Amino acid sequence: MKKLFFILTIICSIGSLFAQDSTALKFDPTKKIMLVDAACGQCQFNMKGKGCTLAVRIKGKSYFVEKAHIDAFGDAHDAAGFCNATRKAKVQGKIVKGKFIATYFDLLKIDAID
C-alpha cells in the first residue's frame, strides 16, 4: 500500500510540473490586454533553445513565456498545436529580462481569428 501511495505521489508531482498554474493566470480588468501571436518558440519563431517552449510575438519580437506551459493548451504537436501553427492569444503580463511573464493567457479558437 505504501508503494502504491508513493507511486501515485510521484505521478502527480511529475504531472504538476507540466500543468499550467491556473491560480496564477487570472484576468485583471485593470490591466491592458494584448493580442499576440503564440507558438512554439523553437519550431515557429526560430528561437534558440532546447525542446519546445511556448513563446509570444509582441511588436515583431519573440519572447519565451513563463507561467504558462506549451502543453497546457493541448498537444503542441497536433496539426493546430503550437509546434505546427501560430495562434492568436489575448494575454496580460510583462516582459522581464527578455521573457514574457504571463499573468493571463487566453488562446483564441481558430475560427475566432477571422
pLDDT at 17: 43
User: Would the pLDDT of 23 be above 90?
Assistant: no
What does the alpha-carbon distance between residue 92 and residue 25 come to, in Å, rounded to a whole number?
9
Q: Could you say which DSSP state residue 109 is in?
A: P
Q: Looking at the 3D structure of the chain, how many domains does it have?
A: 1
For strands 99-107 and 34-40, give the pairing. Answer: unpaired
Residues near 112 by beta carbon (within 8 Å), at least 6 away in sequence: 88
Other CB atoms within 10 Å distance of the CB of residue 88 = 15
pLDDT band at 110 (very low <50, low <70, confident <90, very high): confident
Summarize pLDDT for 35-65 with one digit per residue, the tens: 999 999 999 999 999 999 999 999 999 999 9
pTM for the structure as a whole: 0.76
Judged on CB neighbours under 10 Å (0-12, 13-18, 19+), 72 is: middle
Which cell is 21 given?
498554474
Domain that holds residue 11: 2-112
Summarize pLDDT for 55-99 with one digit per residue, the tens: 999 999 999 999 999 999 999 999 999 999 999 999 999 999 999
User: Would the pLDDT of 13 be above 70?
Assistant: no
pLDDT at 10: 45
pLDDT at 29: 95
Q: What is the CATH number of the domain that holds 6?
A: 2.40.50
Which cell is 103 given?
499573468
